[in-house]
A and B are shown apart, each in its own frame.
Chain A
């Protein structure tokens, strides 16, 4: 149980375009979802926390207008990278959890974004 999926697994886009990444909890209702960014051979950095039906809470230094997060349902959160640039190329990972069990998060397989 507690399976999280991400789509797409790999996306290539041109500089200046926007790209959307989906994160889905397949067998549970995720009241909270988290978005991380990971550069090669580095650690995971939390970008934002989203609660279903509420605005996302962004970590310090993360541009809200650049990384739009929506958590419209208990099974789906989306991350939209707007006006992407090559420096946005990275590996994006989502995780999900539910109330009273948020000490443990369940991770998606990640999405590799390449901006040309």
Chain B
């Protein structure tokens, strides 16, 4: 079974600043997908960014970017120019065999 570890239960960041969320995972597979999901207070799961393991280039979506280190099994998320609407719980997830395994989550609070 794959395990996903998010070691930061809570993070706080000033509006317009940058915050980085960490995620590590454990797998013996070579081909898989990694995701970051955002869950705001509405509790709707929103896909933030996706990374395919066979791609070396780090994924980027506007203010969100990842640092994917396959050998280290690390997949961190950087939120640049933080906005109040970024306040949410963020989950790192691993997809293999079409099943998603989630980390425990990191609550991000953006301060005005």
Mark A residues whose CB is within 8 Å of B: 32, 34, 38, 41-44, 46, 49, 91, 93, 95, 97, 102-105, 107, 109-110
- With known contacts A49-B99, A105-B100, A44–B43 Cβ distance under 8 A: no
Smallest CB–CB gap between A48 and chain B, Å?
A: 11
Q: Find out whether the CB atom of B45 lies under 8 angstroms from the CB atom of A93.
A: yes
User: What residues of A have a CB within 8 angstroms of the CB of B103 in the complex?
Assistant: 43
Q: Is there contact, CB below 8 Å, between B99 and A43?
A: no
Which chain A residues lie closer than 8 Å to B36 at the CB level?
A: none
Task: Select from chain B the residue with minimum beta-carbon distance to A45.
Answer: B102
Residues from chain A with Cβ under 8 Å of B78 in the complex: none
Name which of B52, B98, B105, B107 has the most chain A CB atoms within 10 A of its CB.
Answer: B98
A residues in contact with B43, CB < 8 Å: 38, 91, 93, 109-110
The distance in angstroms between the C-alpha atoms of A110 and B99, with both chains bound, is: 18
Shortest distance between the CB of A5 and any CB in chain B (Å): 11
Q: Say whether A103 contacts B45, CB under 8 Å.
A: no
